């Protein structure tokens, strides 16, 4: 592995759910890469396949779901070809994930210290329990939990949702992973804490070279944080690029819709735009472009599913009617 090998490179990932009513292509040919110390925002409405993408990377898709294609290269190794033990060694160690629902991620009948210490010792049994406890305490302190010594001995139900999410974040940090997949980790937190966590996350990535995938449906969260962004719709990447470029020159109607629904300085006094309609069911996607039924620019050309195009270096787009002339902007 050379220095410029990205920490994670996902290529054409496909994860399907084989349900009674048909095959739901929850992740349908997703590609992206995250380098050392880089932060990628993975954005999309509910049901667009963000969480399933995260679980696919870790090999944690439960039946009826299954990763059916693609590559997940972590520091050059294809995770999809690893056996259970190989994956287990990476999980929680080199790759950590923070789950979406903080109320459900901690085991209700185990004390917080148990759940933290086991995470350390699962990957390095030579660490003593006391040492692991000390590390756990430091990790709790790092995410801003007051009197961590005392809190270690508590049960999850003695924490608020926000506190639990911070514990989950602390657990993710325990083994100083090379990649963190954070699935909407700040939705349960109040704004101040959210800012603090975002700041900490950013600092961690810059200082330690940890790569971060930050999953969210809220572009505002990502705006001050990420280096690049991938926008997902119905299991596919529809737009991808450096954060500033995508936010300043969104080319996909869906991205523009998402941006329109974020309050910002230039929207003051105007009504926030809402993308009309709802995310279609994966089992009943329209023919052609999946966004067609909700897109103000849809026409005959959209009847054929648009392929990914790369109008300029580092930018990907899946739309036959880009809303900005990317080549023009770039020059």
Ligand X SMILES: Nc1ncnc2c1ncn2[C@@H]1O[C@H](COP(=O)(O)OP(=O)(O)OP(=O)(O)O)[C@@H](O)[C@H]1O
Q: For residue 242, which phi and psi values (nearest 5 degrees)?
A: -65, 145
Beta strand 316-317 with 8-19 is: unpaired
What residues are paired with 239 via a beta bridge?
231, 317
Residue 24 contact, options other proteins, ligand SF4, ligand X, none, Cβ 5-8 Å cut-off depending on partner type: ligand X
Whether 237 contacts 306, CB under 8 Å? no
Work out which of 30, 97, 212, 289 binds ligand SF4, going by CB under 6 A. 289
Look at the block and give the residue holding tokens 């690049």: 228
Sign for the pseudo-dihedral over CA of 235, 236, 239, 241: positive
Work out which of 170, 295, 316, 326 binds ligand SF4, going by CB under 6 A. 295
Cβ atoms within 10 Å, residue 9: 18
For the sheet containing 39-43, what is the strand order? 95-98, 179-183, 211-216, 39-43, 228-233, 236-242, 316-317
Work out which of 51, 165, 202, 230 binds Mg ion, going by CB under 5 A. 51
> Considering beta carbons, is residue 117 or 181 the nearer one to Mg ion?
181
Using rule CB under 6 A, residue 20 touches ligand X: no
Candidates 9-17, 67-75, 92-100, 147-155; binding stretch for Mg ion (CB under 5 A): 92-100
Residue 302 contact, options ligand SF4, ligand X, Mg ion, none, Cβ 5-8 Å cut-off depending on partner type: ligand SF4
Residue 123 contact, options ligand X, other proteins, ligand SF4, none, Cβ 5-8 Å cut-off depending on partner type: other proteins
In the bound complex, what is the minimum distance in angstroms from residue 299's beta carbon to ligand SF4? 7
In the bound complex, what is the minimum distance in angstroms from residue 98's beta carbon to other proteins? 9
Work out which of 6, 35, 41, 44 binds ligand X, going by CB under 6 A. 44
Residues 203-262 that bind ligand SF4 (CB under 6 A): 253
Q: Total number of residues binding Mg ion (CB under 5 A)?
A: 2
DSSP 209-251: --EEEEEES-HHHHHTT-SEEEEEETTEEEEEEEHHHHHHS--
SS3 291: coil
Using rule CB under 5 A, residue 53 touches Mg ion: no
> Considering beta carbons, is residue 56 or 175 the nearer one to ligand X?
56
SS3 2: coil
Cβ atoms within 10 Å, residue 208: 13
Residue 321 contact, options Mg ion, ligand X, ligand SF4, none, Cβ 5-8 Å cut-off depending on partner type: ligand SF4
In the bound complex, what is the minimum distance in angstroms from residue 89's beta carbon to ligand X? 25
Eight-class DSSP state of 43: E
Query: Where would I find the beta strands (DSSP E) of the chain?
Result: 8-19, 22-34, 39-43, 65-74, 77-78, 95-98, 179-183, 211-216, 228-233, 236-242, 316-317
> Considering beta carbons, is residue 91 or 252 the nearer one to other proteins?
91
> Considering beta carbons, is residue 139 or 232 the nearer one to ligand X?
232
Eight-class DSSP state of 284: G
The alpha-carbon radius of gyration of the chain (Å, integer) is 20
In the bound complex, what is the minimum distance in angstroms from residue 21's beta carbon to ligand X? 9
Residues 62-121 that bind other proteins (CB under 8 A): 62, 84, 88-93, 96-97, 99, 101, 104-110, 118-119
Work out which of 100, 136, 165, 175 binds ligand X, going by CB under 6 A. 100
DSSP 74-121: ETTEEGGG--HHHHHHHBTTTEEEE-S-HHHHS-TTS-HHHHHHHHHH
Q: Total number of residues binding other proteins (CB under 8 A)?
A: 31
Residue 118 contact, options other proteins, ligand X, ligand SF4, none, Cβ 5-8 Å cut-off depending on partner type: other proteins
What are the residues binding Mg ion (CB under 5 A)? Answer: 51, 100
Which residues form the interface with ligand SF4 (CB under 6 A)? 253, 289, 291-292, 295, 297-298, 302, 306, 319-321
């Amino acid at each position: 592995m050379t220095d410029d090998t990205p920490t994670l490179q996902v290529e054409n990932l496909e994860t399907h759910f084989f349900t009674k009513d048909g095959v739901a292509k929850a992740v349908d040919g997703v590609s992206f890469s995250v380098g050392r110390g880089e932060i990628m925002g993975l954005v999309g409405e509910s049901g667009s396949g963000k969480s399933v993408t995260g679980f696919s990377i870790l090999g944690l898709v439960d039946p009826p779901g299954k990763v059916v294609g693609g590559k997940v290269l972590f520091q050059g190794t294809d995770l999809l070809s690893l056996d259970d033990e190989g994956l287990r060694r990476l999980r929680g160690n080199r790759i950590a994930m923070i789950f979406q629902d903080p109320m459900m991620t901690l085991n209700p009948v185990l004390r917080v210290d148990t759940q933290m210490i086991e995470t350390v010792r699962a990957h390095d049994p030579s660490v003593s329990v006391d040492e692991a406890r000390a590390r756990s305490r430091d990790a709790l302190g790092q995410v801003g939990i007051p009197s961590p010594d005392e809190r270690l001995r508590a049960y999850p139900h003695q924490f608020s949702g926000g506190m639990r999410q911070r514990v989950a974040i602390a657990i993710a940090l325990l083994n100083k992973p090379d990649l963190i997949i954070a699935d909407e980790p700040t939705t349960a937190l109040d704004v101040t804490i959210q800012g603090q966590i975002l700041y900490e996350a950013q600092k961690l990535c810059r200082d330690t070279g940890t790569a971060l995938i930050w999953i969210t449906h809220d572009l505002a969260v990502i705006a001050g944080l990420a280096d690049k962004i991938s926008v997902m719709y119905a299991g596919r990447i529809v737009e991808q690029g450096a954060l500033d470029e995508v936010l300043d020159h969104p080319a996909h109607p869906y991205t523009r819709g998402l941006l329109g629904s974020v309050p910002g300085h230039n929207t003051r006094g105007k009504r926030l735009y809402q993308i009309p309609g709802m995310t279609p069911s994966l089992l009943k996607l329209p023919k052609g472009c999946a966004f067609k039924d909700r897109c103000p620019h849809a026409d005959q050309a959209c009847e054929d599913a648009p392929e990914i195009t790369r109008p300029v270096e580092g930018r990907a787009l899946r739309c036959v009617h880009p809303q900005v002339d990317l080549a023009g902007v770039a020059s």
